[in-house]
Amino acid sequence: MKKFILLSVFLASSFAWAQSTYEVGVVIDSIAVADSEDETFALYLPKNYSSKKLSSIVFIFEPAARGKVGLLPFLKASEKYNHILVCSNNSRNGSYDRNFAIANRLFNHVFGQFAINKDLVFLSGFSGGSRLAATIAALSEGITGVIACGAGLSTQPSHVPYGKDFLYAGICGTRDMNYTEMLDLMPFLESLKFSKTLFTYDAGHRWPPEGKILEAFDWLHIELHKKGVIPLEENVLKDLYVANYDKAEKKLAKKEVLLALEDLNRLRHSFGSFYNLDSVTIKIKNIRNKPVYKTSSKEQDKAIKTEQELTKRYLEKINKEFVSLEEANINWWGKEFQKLKKQHIKGGDETKKMIERVRYKIFASFYQRVNPNINPESAEKQRRYSKEIIALLKESSVQ
């Protein structure tokens, strides 16, 4: 696929743009996209927005094409950093080519309507929308950063961001089915020389809360300051440092040592060029020597290993069943779901999180095989069987 989206649009919009008048500080659900058939997007202009100034922008991709839903987690970040927010009401989980065409029309329309700062163009999305955002960034020029929520990269080799330098902020719940994928993605991006980070928190597969989105944008702006793209005053830097340090301390107080270490390591990386952080380095070393850390780390490693084994087993079973429905055995699944439920009841915190991730992987695997947007050619028998499995999974809920 060609590098297709933003470069030509920037060249055109840098010379002429037609400002439309929209109310600031409110989510506008549905604005028509020019040169499209019934395509629309949701829009949010921050309260301090001015049509006379270049604006930063965040294009958001919601996996179920719910524009307003996609905008809501970004409102606090929009007000703090004066971002325009745009979310398509048509892009959804499904064909990349279809979504590329929708994104192209959306970009052309928006860049024709607003004066955008070409150095501050961000993409974000959740689940399949996250993969789409990263893919567009990989195939485009001019993307400043990606905020990837609940999923990593596309599985297509041509979508890997080789040779790119956009910033990458991942956000993922520790009960999210894609949690281990996001963990594994960080060293891979490191090998590609990316500036990247991962924010994790205790939640399942859902849009992150406003606070997590804001943390991601705080990190992005610190990195952009370090690159010389934007200036941050010393008092702003100090406030961000103190706020992030306090968050780590609160997690330590609640014995959330793995999450606290994540924050402290990010703190050291983000602010190490501004301040002497020897004390933070010593704190990290001391935490790693504590029994609570060693126990938590060991439990997490064991849970992830078990998750890998279970995931392989279940996906192999699902693939066999969909190659030949004669392999289908709903009773087998019923027994497996009960085993998972017992493990969840008896297991520690990391085991419980792991079981919830595995259950959602099973749900997603069956669901995507019968979702007409993702798999329009699935047979009626396959759809019926998948719905039965999903219903059985819900009946054995671990919540």
Answer whether 60's CB lies under 8 Å from 146's CB: no
pLDDT, average across residues 296-300: 96
Burial 99-115 (b: 16+ CB within 10 A, else e): bbebbbbbbbbbbbbbb
DSSP structure string for 323-338:
H-GGG--HHHHHHHHH
Which residues, including other chains, have CB under 8 Å from residue 374's CB and lie 6 or more apart? 93, 94, 368
pTM, two decimal places? 0.93
Question: Which three-class secondary structure state does DSSP give residue 122?
Answer: strand
CA 164 from centre of chain: 18
pLDDT for res 20: 65
Determine what percent of the chain is predicted with pLDDT higher than 90.
Answer: 84
DSSP 154: -
The model's pLDDT over 188-222, given as tens digits with 9 standing for 90+, comes to 999 999 999 999 999 999 999 999 999 999 999 99
Q: Does the structure show a pLDDT above 90 at 21? A: no
Task: Give the C-alpha distances (Å, rounded to integers) separating 16 from 84, 116, 144, 164, 165.
Answer: 18, 11, 22, 28, 28
Task: Give the C-alpha distances (Å, rounded to integers) separating 236 from 145, 167, 330.
Answer: 21, 21, 58
- Smallest Cα–Cα separation from 244: which of 263, 272, 220? 263
pLDDT for res 284: 97
Q: Exposed, middle or buried by CB within 10 Å (0-12, 13-18, 19+), for 321?
A: buried
The model's pLDDT over 29-64, given as tens digits with 9 standing for 90+, comes to 999 999 898 999 999 999 999 999 999 999 999 999
Give the separation between CA 149 and CA 217, rounded to whole angstroms.
13
- Smallest Cα–Cα separation from 79: which of 26, 118, 115? 26
Do you know the residue count of the chain? 399
Residue 20, beta-bridge partner list: none
Q: Is 185 left (phi over 0), alpha (psi -120 to 50) or beta?
A: alpha
pLDDT for res 383: 82
C-alpha radius of gyration, the chain, whole number: 22
Answer whether 125's CB lies under 8 Å from 133's CB: yes
Strands (E), 157-207: 167-173, 196-201
The model's pLDDT over 218-252, given as tens digits with 9 standing for 90+, comes to 999 999 999 999 999 999 999 999 999 999 999 99
Q: Does the structure show a pLDDT above 90 at 270? A: yes
DSSP 21: P
Which of 273-277, 345-349, 385-389 is predicted least confidently?
385-389
Which of 151-155, 197-201, 318-322 is predicted least confidently?
318-322
